[in-house]
Structure 1
Amino acid sequence: MPQIAYLECVRCHAQISAEKPQTVHAGCPVQPPGSLYVRYDLTTLEGTNPDEVIASTAGAPWRGMWRYSAVLPDVKPVTLGEGWTPMLHSKRLTNAYLKEEGTNPTGTFKARGLSLAVSMAKQYGLRKLAVPSAGNAAGALAAYAAAADIEAHIFMPRDVPFANYVEAIAYGAKVTLVDGLISDCARIVAERREEEGWFDISTLKEPFRVEGKKTMGYELVEQLGWEYPEAVFYPTGGGVGLIGMWKAFEEMEQLGWVKPGKRPRMIAVQAAGCAPVTRAYEQNDNASQMWQNAATFASGLRVPKPYGDHIILDILRASDGIALSVSDEDILNSILDWAKYEGIFLSPEGASVTAAYDQLIANGVLSPEDKVVLFNTGSGLKYTDVTSNAMGLVRP
């Protein structure tokens, strides 16, 4: 496992020591302060064979996220078996592959980021972690904090899918339901963290959730034979998964682990009822504006202003990518379509991606011959209450 060389501010590129736990770059001359990326000295891995490196890793051939420990922090994992999720080839769409993140612990991709963030928190000796969440990060933090014997303080909108509330309570977290959105939850954490002694583990306000989620980039490339697809579709609320994968592509190219070729077009998908990144992309802005009256049953997409919006927009432009939004009606139709014809119960966020793929094929932006990876970021079974409401379905 590599030693962390330093933490790098994504805005001003200052280098900061990782010896103590860090949030954002407090001394950043840009506002809001830049998030921190973990940087390693990877020179000893340059030109190596990735399969040989992975096979030589302690614990191999276990097929989890920590198979990539050669490019992750040197830390004892707090693990529940996260990662190495299936890459499912659509039976109807010739060149579409679904990355099924619903098989992770707690049923969503959030397990990756929180596994690594909690592992590092335990190594740093932190005892109280706090998070604002649209739902799934709350469940993941609660689970990994329980495994690490760390206190979890969770703030969620009152109308999150009920499964998120139940699991957080069951794991023993201290849960507060808030009348508002994730932005209101984040404000409460920011106001109380110093007095309460919490370490804020919010999206992009600590360095290690990105590191956990970058493993999705390593996995999808490995599962495609160490080759890039033409496009990657990602449901974008906070956008950390998309950001993490882009960081993984950068590292793989430095190491020579991916076959030469153009990086994938990154497709950021939002709900029409909360689409700040899409609006900023369409207006050619460098950052988004707060989305008023955000409303969608895809709760993970109900983020009125992502902290890393400027990073997401930079990635979209660098990759010749796109941001687009889809209606709740199209999301529901895609849930039912994939359930009936593919046997896969998508989360609403995942169904936003499959609906967006249909749109881009229909309008000729992509061709059916383009190999694409569509991310279903969570199991549809975590959303049975909100999905049944959208369907107008009641218990007989």
Structure 2
Amino acid sequence: MPSIAFLECSRCHAHLDPSTPQTVCTQCPDSPAGTLYVRYDLSAAQGLEARNKIGAIDPSRPSPGMWRYQSVLPEVPPVTLAEGWTPMLLSRRNPNVFLKEEGANPTGTFKARGMSMAMSMIRHYGIRKIAVPSAGNAGGAAAAYAAAAGIEAHIFMPKDVPLANQVECLSYGANMTLVDGLISDCARIVNERKQAEGWFDLSTLKEPFRVEGKKTMGYELVEQSGWTYPDAVFYPTGGGVGLIGMWKAFEEMEQLGWVAKNNGNGWRRPKMIAVQAAGCAPVARAYDAGESASQMWQNAHTFAAGLRVPKPYGDYIILDAVRQSRGTVVALSDEAIFQSLRDWASNEGIFLSPEGAASTAAYDHLIATGFLKPSERVVLFNTGSGNKYTDVIGHALGLTHA
């Protein structure tokens, strides 16, 4: 495992000390302060020989999952439930469409990756209490990994999150508070109380290590593609940490020489397609307006709970990655998302989360508009299992309890 050289601000590029717990940049002259990136001494991981060693079975960790990439992750004993190394499923209808099935993770969503890495560092730093504002799935994952690490967890979620998220938090022994509002209201409560309560704030992009767990999705999709980039990556974007993490992974792989160059001439990263719901589309609105950051979305609503984030903290990073990659941001109606969910269930045998169905609906939309061609190789992210949304999806299907 590499040593952490420093933490770097994504805005002002100041360097911070990684030996003590950090939240956001303390040097930024303007507000909001920049989120921090973990920077390593990666000299030992350079080249194909180092790349070919990843994934070697360690008898003490028979299912390494995302920790197969330990050479590009912090040197710390992992708090792991065998997260990561999720399947990439080929569509039955299009040989160039692959679905990255993050529902195969512990707690049923991609959130397990970030919480595994973050909780590993929380335990390493000796922190005993954490607080997390969540749109649902991050709360369940935080509760699980806090239980595994022996950490006291306080989870704040909107009161209308899927029932599965509430059941998870209580079952794992977390302290759960349901809030009459959105994730932004939950974040406000955590911020107001954390100092008095002695909580470390594990909010999205308010600490540097959830990104490190999420970046393993980028390493995986490239390795599973034969160490080449696909033409496009579709990512459901609420807080956007997964997209940000993958963009960081691509940068690291290029520095390490791990990813194949196009025709030997250089790298062409995939078009990053950020997908939102029409009822909460701050990044889409900012992208269309040519702005570098989003504005708070008023009256946010969508049945895809993970997309109901009225202003992502890392919006400026998301927008920059989309533009650098020649990608785009798509906002779709709940009706289009639900139609795609049913389409993939009945024709592919895959029960998508509403957020994952936003990806598949966005693909159909961009094929129809000509932005992409059916011959282009794409990876669509299903960020969670549809089984975590049975109450929400059942309601959309018109089902009622007997």
TM-score, normalised via structure 2 length: 0.97
Counterpart of 2:18 in structure 1 is 18
Task: State how far apart, in whole Å, the 2-side matches of 1:21 and 1:58 are.
Answer: 29
In the TM superposition, residue 30 of structure 1 has moved relative to its aligned partner by: 2.5
Q: d(CA) in 1 for partners of 2:219 and 2:247?
A: 10
| Deviation per residue, 1:219-245 (Å, 9 max, x gap) | 000000000000000000000000000
Q: Which residue of 2 aligns with 1:384?
A: 390
Deviations 1:299-330 (A, max 9, x none): 00000000000000010111001001011001
- The equivalent residue for 2:264 is none
Q: Which amino acid aligns with 2:30?
A: V
Query: Unmatched 5+ residue regions in structure 2?
Result: 262-266
Give the SS at the match of 1:37.
strand
Which residue number in structure 2 is paired with residue 298 of structure 1? 304
Q: Secondary structure at the match of 1:70?
A: helix
Structural mapping, 1:223-242, within 5 Å: 223-242=224-243
Deviation at 1:191, TM superposition (A): 0.3
Would you say the 8 A contact 1:332–1:391 is kept in 2? no
CA-to-partner distance for each residue in 1:62-120, whole Å, 9 max, x for gaps?
Answer: 35000000000000000001000000000102200000000000000000000000000
Partner residue, 1:3: 3
Structure 1 residue corresponding to 2:338, chosen from 310, 322, 332: 332
- Return the alpha-carbon distance in structure 2 between the equivalents of residues 153 and 172 of structure 1: 10
Shift of 1:44: 2.5
Aligned to 2:68: 67
1:180-329 map, 5 Å:
180-260=181-261, 261-329=267-335
CA distance in 1, matches of 2:62, 2:196: 45
Alignment pair present for 1:352 and 2:358: yes
Partner residue of 1:91? 92
C-alpha separation between the residues in 2 aligned to 1:93 and 1:63? 31
Moved more, 56-65 or 319-328: 56-65
* Aligned equivalent of 1:105: 106
Quote the Cα distance in structure 1 between the aligned partners of 2:26 and 2:152: 25
2:41 is aligned with 1:41: yes
CA distance in 2, matches of 1:360, 1:76: 43
Which SS does the other structure have where 2:218 is aligned? helix
Which structure 2 residues correspond to residues 122-161 of structure 1 after superposition, within 5 A?
Answer: 122-161=123-162
Structure-1 separation of matches of 2:132 and 2:63: 30
User: 1 CA distance for matches of 2:67 and 2:161?
Assistant: 30
* Partner Cα separation in structure 2 for residue 55 and residue 83 of structure 1: 12
2:200 is aligned with what amino acid? F
Instruction: Give the distance between the partners of 1:206 and 1:151, measured in 2 at CA.
Output: 17
Over the matched positions of the two proteins, sequence identity in percent amounts to: 70
Deviations along 1:19-57, whole A, 9 cap, x unmatched?
000000122113100000000011232223355221457
Aligned to 1:82: 83
Post-superposition offset of 1:369 = 0.3
Aligned residue type for 2:269: R
Structure 1 contact 12–30 (Cα < 8 Å) conserved? no
Q: CA contact under 8 A between 1:155 and 1:176: conserved in structure 2?
A: yes
Q: Secondary structure of 1:279's partner?
A: helix
Number of residues of Structure 1 aligned to a counterpart in Structure 2: 396
The amino acid of 1:20's aligned partner reads T
Partner of 1:365: 371
Q: Provide the rounded CA distance (Å) in 2 between the counterparts of 1:25 and 1:250.
A: 21
Instruction: Work out the CA distance in 2 between the residues paired with 1:46 and 1:139.
Output: 36
Amino acid at match of 2:220: E
Checking the alignment, whether the CA contact within 8 Å between 1:53 and 1:70 is kept in structure 2 is: no
State the 1:167 CA deviation.
0.6
1:27 is aligned to 2:33: no
User: Aligned AA for 1:21?
Assistant: P
Structure 1 contact 49–257 (Cα < 8 Å) conserved: no
Native 8 Å contact 1:112 1:212 kept in 2: yes
- Whole-angstrom CA distance in 2 between matches of 1:390 and 1:351: 14
Structure 1 residues 375 and 208: alpha-carbon distance in aligned structure 2, compared to 1, 3 A threshold: same
2:202 partner amino acid: I
Q: Distance in 2 between matches of 1:55 and 1:157?
A: 39
Secondary structure of the equivalent of 2:167?
helix
Please tell me the residue identity of whatever aligns with 1:271. A
Equivalents in 1 of 2:179, 2:330: separation in Å? 29
Preserved contact between residue 152 and residue 173 of structure 1 (Cα < 8 Å): yes
Q: Which amino acid aligns with 2:11?
A: R
Amino acid at match of 1:285: E
With 23-32 and 314-323 compared, the bigger mean Cα shift is at 23-32
Post-superposition offset of 1:390: 1.5
Unaligned runs of 5+ in 1: none
Give SS of 1:188's match. helix
Which region of structure 1 is more displaced relative to structure 2, 26-35 or 13-22?
26-35
Find the residue that maps to 1:247 and give its secondary structure: helix
CA distance in 2, matches of 1:315, 1:184: 27
Measured in 2, the distance between the counterparts of 1:136 and 1:264 equals 27
RMSD: 1.1
